[in-house]
């Protein structure tokens, strides 16, 4: 059993609930009558599912912002490691998430309030962890995770080998020997996994493709909750067209969707590049939970002046590392400049 009073390094005020699960409890506890800012009701819980290998000092930038936006709201952080994403099956992941589920289900105001959870996920690791959490919550409680708004930063993508290698490289230690050694063996493991799913288990059975589908599963997610997709054309890990494709699918299912396409920001780097625009989009998405939605509301922003829908709908696009994707029917030419 983890010690409840164990402090999370470099995240002031957080306590350790379980491996990779942390909670911040404000001095003024949330109540349905309290709202900050005053013009909107605060979420009853802010839940962050961070990107694979996220460092505490980077996570703290987001938690600090949420603390300033909603001073009375609890914050829960669920981190993800490469082992979580690539090597643990769903059953094992959900076992490790049980303390988080039990904690959320014990918060009576969370169940009684109409405000619900503001869920903010980052990259493939965060979106997969959110899906595992939602499924674990449903299995344990028999209810859907009460998410009122969902923000997806740099996710979901498609399984593209060289981009996965790039993601692995970003999550490794900065020490050159460890980084190069880890990248060599990690790339070999990812290659073996890719081949296994490509030729043995099937193209649609990999964790990334399943996560894309699970994000649209009404059994575990309230599809009436507004969604915000935050992504960039300069993301070397997740292709912006993949994220946009998922946003289009959400729209076709009748969801309220806010698409914000950044220019010049890297993977999960949009808030650092354009903080005002980023957080305005997040807050606009949360504010929309207070409005009765009929139909679909879409906001598309493109800093480069291009059309995010310029590729033909209903068809798969291809990028330079297409020959290493698990998707069928894609060109086999080219190479990714930022390879492993």
* Sheet hosting strand 74-80, strand order edge to edge: 14-18, 21-24, 74-80, 45-52, 117-122, 147-153, 227-232, 257-262, 298-302
The answer to whether position 167 is within a domain reads no
The answer to whether position 77 is within a domain reads yes
Q: What are the DSSP E strand ranges found in 126-274?
A: 147-153, 227-232, 257-262
pLDDT band, residue 12 (cuts 50/70/90):
confident
The answer to whether position 110 is within a domain reads yes
Give the range of the structural domain holding residue 76, as residue numbers without chain letter.
14-159+206-307
- pTM for the model stands at 0.77
The answer to whether position 62 is within a domain reads yes
Q: What is the pLDDT of residue 38?
A: 53
Residue 290 has pLDDT above 80, yes or no: no
Q: What is the pLDDT of residue 83?
A: 79
Which CATH number does the domain housing residue 296 bear?
3.40.50.1820
Contact 156, 208 (CB under 8 A): yes
Q: What is the pLDDT of residue 45?
A: 95
The answer to whether position 173 is within a domain reads no
The answer to whether position 227 is within a domain reads yes
Q: Each residue of 167-217: pLDDT tens digit?
A: 666 666 666 766 677 666 666 666 665 566 565 555 667 888 999 999 999
111 burial level (CB within 10 Å; 0-12, 13-18, 19+): middle
Q: What is the pLDDT of residue 61?
A: 95
**What size, in residues, is the chain?**
340
The answer to whether position 312 is within a domain reads no
Q: CA–CA separation, 102 vs 19, rounded Å?
A: 14
The answer to whether position 176 is within a domain reads no
The total of structural domains in the chain comes to 1
Which residue in 254, 258, 244, 263 sits closest to 310, CA to CA? 244
């Amino acid at each position: 059993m983890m010690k409840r009073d164990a402090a999370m390094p470099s995240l002031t005020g957080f306590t350790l609930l379980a491996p990779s699960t942390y909670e911040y409890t404000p001095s003024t506890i949330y109540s349905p009558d309290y709202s900050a800012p005053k013009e909107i009701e605060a979420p009853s819980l802010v839940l962050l599912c961070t990107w694979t290998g996220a460092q505490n000092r980077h996570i703290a930038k987001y938690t600090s912002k949420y603390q300033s936006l909603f001073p009375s709201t609890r914050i829960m952080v669920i981190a993800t490691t490469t082992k979580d994403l690539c090597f643990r099956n769903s059953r094992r992941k959900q076992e490790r998430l049980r303390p988080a589920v039990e904690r959320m289900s014990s918060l009576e105001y969370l169940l009684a309030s109409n405000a619900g959870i503001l869920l903010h996920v980052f990259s493939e690791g965060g979106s997969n962890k959110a899906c595992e959490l939602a499924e674990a919550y449903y299995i344990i409680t028999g209810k859907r995770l009460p998410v009122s708004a969902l923000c997806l930063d740099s996710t979901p993508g498609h399984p593209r080998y060289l981009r996965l290698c790039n993601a692995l490289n970003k999550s490794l230690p900065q020490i050159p020997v460890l980084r190069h050694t880890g990248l060599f063996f990690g790339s070999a493991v990812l290659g073996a996994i890719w081949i296994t799913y490509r030729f043995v288990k099937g193209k649609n059975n990999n964790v990334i493709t399943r996560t894309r589908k699970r994000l649209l599963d009404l059994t575990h997610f309230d599809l009436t909750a507004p969604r915000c997709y935050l992504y960039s054309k300069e993301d070397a890990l997740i292709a912006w067209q993949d994220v946009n494709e998922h946003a289009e699918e959400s729209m076709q299912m009748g969801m309220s969707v806010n698409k914000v396409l950044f220019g010049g920001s890297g993977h999960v780097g949009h808030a650092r590049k354009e903080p005002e625009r980023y957080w305005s989009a997040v807050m606009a998405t949360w504010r929309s939970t207070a409005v009765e939605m009929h139909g679909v509301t879409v906001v598309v922003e493109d800093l480069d002046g291009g059309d995010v829908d310029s590729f033909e709908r209903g068809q798969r696009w291809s990028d330079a590392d297409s020959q290493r994707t698990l998707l069928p029917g894609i060109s086999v030419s080219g190479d990714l400049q930022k390879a492993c």
